[in-house]
Structure 1
Amino acid sequence: MANSSQVFRFTLGAYFDTGPLRWLYFLLVLCVYVLIVLSNLLLIAVICLNRTLHEPMYVFLCSLFVNELYGSAALYPFLLSQIPQDVHEVSYFLCLVQIFAIYTYGSVEFWNLAVISYDRYMAVCSPLQYKTHMSRRRVTFCVVLIWLPPFVAVFITTVLTSSLTFCGSLIDAVYCDNYGIIKLSCFDTTVNNLYELVAATVTVICPVCVIVFTYVNIFKVCFRGSKQSRQKAASTCTPHICSLVNGAFGAFFFIIQTRFEMSHWPRVLIIILVLYNLLCQPLFNPLMYGLNLSKLKVACQNVLSKNNKILAMV
């Protein structure tokens, strides 16, 4: 059996020497992070302050934008601190915190998209009963459903990982990945692997099943309905479908990178694929929903125009 020891710091092995270009990458990541924070904060503020947007769909969208800020905060400050350094290390405790934050972000993302799918299913398939069915109590339950199961599932995952003893400290990643840490364990990790399957079922497979079920029924109704009803359904469902596809690509890239050997791939490409979900999704969602949902778009334009008038007066 390999020698085991208490690990206090992990080394992140996916970084490579970029020389003077590191500051260019630093500025690019900083600009993306600022855009993510500003765009998501704008939409959260617009939804919270505008009474006409206090509807179930916009409540769920607000939850989605809050999650984008949460997931971004788990990665971008960390990247900005790592890029300028020559030695890329992270403490054991911070590594566990980052695993918890990033995995809960991904899980909440799936549940949030599933709840939005359910909301669109009720709006399209049962429009007359929509307001009655999507009561304040039901909306509150849905918001709790979005956040609680992922946090409980990932918390248990993190506790199981923290109980492991390690024979190494090199993680071939740019941030802490649970599977990468489990591979460093000296002892049997069957319990961890089995629980990951259970957690994946709760946090990924269940919401995906909800999404598939709801959209199959939405498409059935659309095909049977009039041209006007199809256009109306398409206008509200298109941003959500695009967000689903983008999120699915990000999850697929992450699974491919962590589970399969990709050493023969260009290092830059691997890093981009790994970061895709946390690079693109938090920026893609506010732009997609903000530009395509007419009520939200008008509300944002009103807020921005008022701010421009105030600045002009000053």
Structure 2
Amino acid sequence: MKSNNSLTPSYFQFTVFADYGPLRYLFFSLCLLIYMIIISANVVIILTVCLENSLHQPMYIFICCLSLNSLYGSAGFFPRFLMDLLSDTHFISRPFCVIQMCIIQLYLGHELTLLTVMAYDRFVAICQPLHYHSKMTFRMVLLLLMFVVLYPVCFLGYLFYLASSLPFCRNKLHRLFCTTFSVVELSCVDTIAISRVGQVFAVILIIVPLSFVLYTYLRILLVCRRSLSDFRGKALQTCLPHIVTFGNFCISLCCELLLSQYNLVKVNTSVSVALSLEFLIIPPISNPLVYGLNLPQIRKVIFGFLSKTVCPTRLTSVFVGF
């Protein structure tokens, strides 16, 4: 009699891809354009923060890390997705499925913890301005960034190990990419215990940071309410990009959680695809735009760089014309 491990398939198949015929090239071009926009927008933010000395401050370092995380998460999805758009078959080997699962879900975890750390930075800057420089030291920034990296790994690492070591009797994934819950559902063994552990870890990983962010902004609103209008305006100006980013991420997270909890075979394919793409496209595009356009310090550096590169070109063309 064969063991369960011998029945385990060495690959998985994505079932949501349809045969669009010649339209596949149009979809490929649009998705490639989106990926190039994500790379370009986030690289601009990263270079702006790294090259401008005046932006070597905690808030801008965290914004830079947010863009790095967007590049990291996009790299775990788009190259494979673009290949699938042009391919007639949509198989992924088990090791690559585990790698994709780790990258994308750690991207979500890092995004959430990073936004939590950014909320703490704004809380100290607005509610405890006299102690900001003594609290947000270079050492503290490094410790917070270590927390951003390790907090999701501690909770998700164990789930990744369990999901990758299970025996599987089926290989059809009703997703655009590999996730822990979708892979666990294909197992031959009873996975109720793993699902319960996953749900507990998900609650801890999500609820604790969300509660902390809500607490910090409640304190910020109370301070702003008792402050002068000038201080209130400056405080809200620095908090607005983070509020927009955090709200957008919460919507994306809800979409992903809904897809993880429901039977996707019964969900409309278009709805499933739209919800799957939301958190992998919208935050990586909107985050650099929100911070680049709303924060005057970053906007000033970007526009200054553009004026230095564009104006000499125009002057050269004028002299060449003469």
Compute the TM-score of the two structures, normalised by the length of structure 1.
0.95
Tell me, yes or no, if the aligned pair for 2:174 and 2:264 is still in contact at 8 Å.
no
Report what 1:211 is aligned to: 213
Matches within 5 A, 1:1-314: 4=4, 5-261=7-263, 263=265, 265-309=267-311
Aligned partner letter, 1:283: I
Looking at structure 2, the residues matched to 56 and 77 of structure 1 have their Cα atoms a distance apart, in angstroms, of 32
Q: Report % sequence identity.
A: 32
Over residues 204-243 of structure 1, what are the superposed CA-to-partner deviations in whole Å (9 max), with x where a residue is unaligned?
A: 2221121111011011111121222221111111111111
Name which of structure 1's ranges 145-154 and 257-266 shifts more when overlaid on structure 2.
257-266
Aligned partner letter, 1:128: L
Over residues 148-184 of structure 1, what are the superposed CA-to-partner deviations in whole Å (9 max), with x where a residue is unaligned?
A: 2213332222111111001100011111121111111
C-alpha RMSD over aligned residues:
1.8
Change (3 A) 1:94 1:294: same
Q: Considering only CA atoms, is the larger Rg found in Structure 1 or Structure 2?
A: 2
Looking at structure 2, the residues matched to 269 and 311 of structure 1 have their Cα atoms a distance apart, in angstroms, of 47
Looking at structure 2, the residues matched to 305 and 165 of structure 1 have their Cα atoms a distance apart, in angstroms, of 59
Compute the TM-score of the two structures, normalised by the length of structure 2.
0.92
Tell me, yes or no, if the aligned pair for 2:12 and 2:93 is still in contact at 8 Å.
yes
Looking at structure 1, the residues matched to 123 and 277 of structure 2 have their Cα atoms a distance apart, in angstroms, of 31
Aligned partner letter, 1:54: H
Looking at structure 2, the residues matched to 85 and 190 of structure 1 have their Cα atoms a distance apart, in angstroms, of 35
Structure 2, unaligned runs of 5 or more: 318-322
Tell me, yes or no, if the aligned pair for 1:22 and 1:84 is still in contact at 8 Å.
yes
Over residues 235-273 of structure 1, what are the superposed CA-to-partner deviations in whole Å (9 max), with x where a residue is unaligned?
A: 111111111111011111111122124556542232011
Over residues 106-157 of structure 1, what are the superposed CA-to-partner deviations in whole Å (9 max), with x where a residue is unaligned?
A: 0000000000000011111111111111111111111111112213332222
Tell me, yes or no, if the aligned pair for 2:24 and 2:86 is still in contact at 8 Å.
yes
The secondary structure found in structure 1 opposite 2:76 is helix
Change (3 A) 1:264 1:151: closer
Structure 1, unaligned runs of 5 or more: none
Aligned partner letter, 1:231: G
The secondary structure found in structure 1 opposite 2:20 is coil
Tell me, yes or no, if the aligned pair for 2:174 and 2:265 is still in contact at 8 Å.
no
Aligned partner letter, 1:303: F
Aligned partner letter, 2:93: S
State the number of aligned residues. 313
Aligned partner letter, 1:157: L
Shift of 1:9: 0.5
